[in-house]
Amino acid sequence: MTVLDHGGLMDRVYRRQRHFYDATRKYYLLGRDPMIAGLKPPPGAAVLEIGCGTGRNLVQAARQYPQSHFFGIDISQEMLESAGRAVVRAGLQRRVRLALADAECFDPQRVFGRSDFDRIFISYAVSMIPSWQAVMAQAFTHLAPAGELHVVDFGNQRGLPAWFRHGLRTWLRWYHVTPRADLPAVAGRIAAAGGGACAHSRLYRDFASLVVVTRAA
């Protein structure tokens, strides 16, 4: 699937859903707030969200870390329109910038006029990105020294009943969502290849996985 194809698909999926996305996703996109709480960027830090969607996470993070500057990219113009409105409603236009971009070939210098970020986070987006491993590897290269990449997404649900796992995955396929069972392993390989470190947490009986990849100082 080409970049244009995937962007068009996301626009079609979310053209209507974006209007009630946040109201429904709060019940099963678990781990987003613990991920934001763990960012802890230093004062004056630059923080990027890949796949910022409706802007919910960016607004939450910008409120929690008022001394940092935030950036968000998404491949869906429909979602970016919702994100832009959320940023304006929150009065955060001076600290949050948004752009339409594909994460795999994202050039931060061209898009935002900067080469790296102190924190990068991806919330429930790797399960929707076909080239997610390449996106994570590329994101690691955009980290400043001692920077951190935080990723939260669906886990294996091994601690939950089989009927629940089957029902969840069937439902997710309707929305072109594929949980990445090897997310922790991929994060570990990216960290090792770049001389960094990786930490992995299983959340809510393995409903979700949270990985943090740290670049060397």
pLDDT in tens, 18-37: 444 444 444 457 889 999 99
Helix, strand or coil, per DSSP, at residue 197: strand
| Residue 5: predicted pLDDT | 55
Does 1 have pLDDT greater than 50?
Answer: no
**pLDDT grade for 205, boundaries at 50, 70 and 90:** confident
DSSP bridge partners of 121: 49, 150
Q: Are 99 and 76 in contact (CB under 8 A)?
A: no
Instruction: For Cα atoms 153, 155, 161, give the angle at the middle one, nearest 5 degrees.
Output: 135
| Residue 180: predicted pLDDT | 92
Does 41 have pLDDT greater than 80?
Answer: yes
| Residue 107: predicted pLDDT | 95
Tokens of 185: 């392993």
**pLDDT grade for 204, boundaries at 50, 70 and 90:** confident
| Residue 27: predicted pLDDT | 40
Helix, strand or coil, per DSSP, at residue 49: strand
Does 10 have pLDDT greater than 60?
Answer: no
Q: Is 208 exposed, middle or buried (0-12, 13-18, 19+ CB in 10 A)?
A: buried
Does 12 have pLDDT greater than 70?
Answer: no
Average pLDDT over every residue of 180-209: 94
**pLDDT grade for 157, boundaries at 50, 70 and 90:** confident
Bigger pLDDT: 29 vs 7 = 29
Report percent pLDDT > 70 for the chain.
Answer: 87
Q: Which of 99, 155, 96 is nearest to 124 (CA)?
A: 155
| Residue 163: predicted pLDDT | 87
**pLDDT grade for 155, boundaries at 50, 70 and 90:** confident
> Are β-strands 197-203 and 208-214 bridged in parallel, bridged antiparallel, or unpaired?
antiparallel
> Are β-strands 143-154 and 208-214 bridged in parallel, bridged antiparallel, or unpaired?
antiparallel
| Residue 22: predicted pLDDT | 47
Task: Show the DSSP H helices in the chain as ranges.
Answer: 3-17, 21-25, 32-39, 56-64, 77-89, 108-112, 132-141, 162-174, 183-193
| Residue 44: predicted pLDDT | 96
Instruction: For Cα atoms 25, 30, 31, give the angle at the middle one, nearest 5 degrees.
Output: 135
Instruction: For Cα atoms 138, 110, 146, give the angle at the middle one, nearest 5 degrees.
Output: 45
C-alpha span between 176 and 79 (Å, rounded): 16
Average pLDDT over every residue of 194-209: 92
pLDDT tens across 103-121, in order? Answer: 989 999 999 999 999 999 9
